Structure 1
Amino acid sequence: MTSMWVGERVRLRAIEPDEGEVFLAFEEDTDAARNGWRIAPPRSAERARQWAAELAAKESDLDEVKLVIATRDGDVPVGMINTHQVHRHHGTFAYGISIGTSHHRKGYAGDAIVVLLRYMFHERAFQKAEAWVYASNDPSLALHRRLGFVEEGRRRRGRFAAGRYEDEFLFGMTTEEFTERYGRAL
């Protein structure tokens, strides 16, 4: 049996109710939290448990997903990936991804993105994916270029973090570009 949710290195899956503290630990790295989106005030272990339990109990949406990135071998949670700004009429969506610092540079992010895009393009019939990347996040900029995303724009001074304004880059990939590079669905 083959699952479309399994890549070369990762498996995308729902969060389990007892995994809150795993993701709470990822939030301790300020630079990683800032690169992912923003720094939030500390939350308690109890609130993290509640968050995971609420997310685990929530009914899944077909287009707006929030998934755990787990290692293919061992099922260890290494991060999360989600879709947002889903526009069914236009066939476009954006996504965000966050990998725990101790799991960086192992190919998990790129593999998770390919698995998610294969689902969104080949199962949900979307025609374009978008990702915003902060100018200070050099690894993510390099990752998106390496995956074949096209740099479509730059929002100057679109974000404030670490006491300064910085630019955001918009990357896009169409279903045709994806299919040419990664092939059809399983």
Structure 2
Amino acid sequence: MMMINGETIHRAPLTGRRVRLRELRESDLPHLVSWWQEADLAVQQLTSPIHPQPAEQLAEMFRTWSRNTGADLGLCVVGRESDELLGHVTLYGATPKDRCATLAVIIGPPHQDKGLGTDAVRTTLRYGFEELGLHRIELTVNGYNDRAQVAYAKAGFTEEGRRREAVFRSGRFHDQVLMSILAHEWQTDQIQ
């Protein structure tokens, strides 16, 4: 807890209850690449075709997402105390006029189903709204990914609609769900 201009600030902007967000380090890349290449994770997360990619190409993708030089922001999710790599979050596509960004998150399979993803999303939302001045944060999730939809709802996201049968996976078409949260909804949720 600290004071800024007489106002009490409870947490560092990139620190959640159980996680911290920090810059990408070269030592993070082998884990991130390995997780990205896991078939089960790809089926849940990706809407594009699942094509195997060379490790260096995937590492460069994470480097690009994590340059943090423009409107896009990419950060590693680590344990609050341990600094163990847990995943990666990205806010991208924001413009000064609309102040709307898209959220993408990957939590490594060894760290899933422990509430760490929800804490990472909540921490990213706080940073996006309080530090970046965003008005809206949105995401898309595959309709069959119930676990992710529940985690996003816990973090305050609301389903806005569906792109019906927009994702072809495992020989079938599936819906893609659009979810969002607005700054005033997030602030209300923080008070309760």
TM-score (norm 1): 0.86
Give the residue type in structure 1 aligned to 2:134: F
Give percent identity, aligned residues only.
Answer: 25
Q: Deviations over 1:36-70 (max 9, x none)?
A: 225331424xx1696389559x7423631111111
Aligned counterpart, 1:137: 145
Confirm whether residue 114 of structure 1 aligns to residue 114 of structure 2.
no
Aligned with 1:7 (options 10, 16, 24): 16
Aligned counterpart, 2:6: none
Q: Find the aligned partners of 1:15 and 1:48 in 2 and give their Cα distance.
A: 16
Q: Find the aligned partners of 2:120 and 2:127 in 1 and give their Cα distance.
A: 11
Q: Secondary structure at the residue paired with 1:24?
A: helix
Q: Find the aligned partners of 1:19 and 1:151 in 2 and give their Cα distance.
A: 32
Q: Secondary structure at the residue paired with 1:131?
A: strand
Q: Find the aligned partners of 1:50 and 1:27 in 2 and give their Cα distance.
A: 10
RMSD: 2.3
**2:71–2:93 CA contact under 8 A, matched in 1:** no
Q: Find the aligned partners of 2:136 and 2:79 in 1 and give their Cα distance.
A: 27
Q: Secondary structure at the residue paired with 1:27?
A: helix
Aligned counterpart, 1:92: 100
Q: Map 1:7-86 to 2 at 5 A.
A: 7-37=16-46, 38=48, 39-44=50-55, 47=56, 51=60, 54-55=63-64, 59-61=67-69, 63-86=71-94
Aligned counterpart, 2:8: none
Q: Find the aligned partners of 1:34 and 1:49 in 2 and give their Cα distance.
A: 17
Q: 4+ residue stretches of structure 1 with deviation over 4 A?
A: 52-56
**2:164–2:175 CA contact under 8 A, matched in 1:** yes
Q: Find the aligned partners of 2:157 and 2:89 in 1 and give their Cα distance.
A: 17
Q: 1:25 and 1:161, CA in 2 relative to 1: closer, same or farther beyond 3 A?
A: same
Q: Secondary structure at the residue paired with 1:78?
A: strand
Q: Which runs of 5+ in 1 are unaligned?
A: none
**1:20–1:48 CA contact under 8 A, matched in 2:** no
**What is the Cα deviation at residue 21 of structure 1?**
1.1
Q: Find the aligned partners of 1:176 and 1:53 in 2 and give their Cα distance.
A: 31
**2:71–2:95 CA contact under 8 A, matched in 1:** no
**2:13–2:131 CA contact under 8 A, matched in 1:** no
Q: 1:59 and 1:171, CA in 2 relative to 1: closer, same or farther beyond 3 A?
A: closer
**What is the Cα deviation at residue 161 of structure 1?**
2.1
Q: 1:8 and 1:101, CA in 2 relative to 1: closer, same or farther beyond 3 A?
A: same
Q: 1:150 and 1:71, CA in 2 relative to 1: closer, same or farther beyond 3 A?
A: same
Give the residue type in structure 2 aligned to 1:19: D
Q: Secondary structure at the residue paired with 1:133?
A: strand
Q: Deviations over 1:11-30 (max 9, x none)?
A: 11111112221112213421
Q: Deviations over 1:110-141 (max 9, x none)?
A: 11111111111112211111111111111011
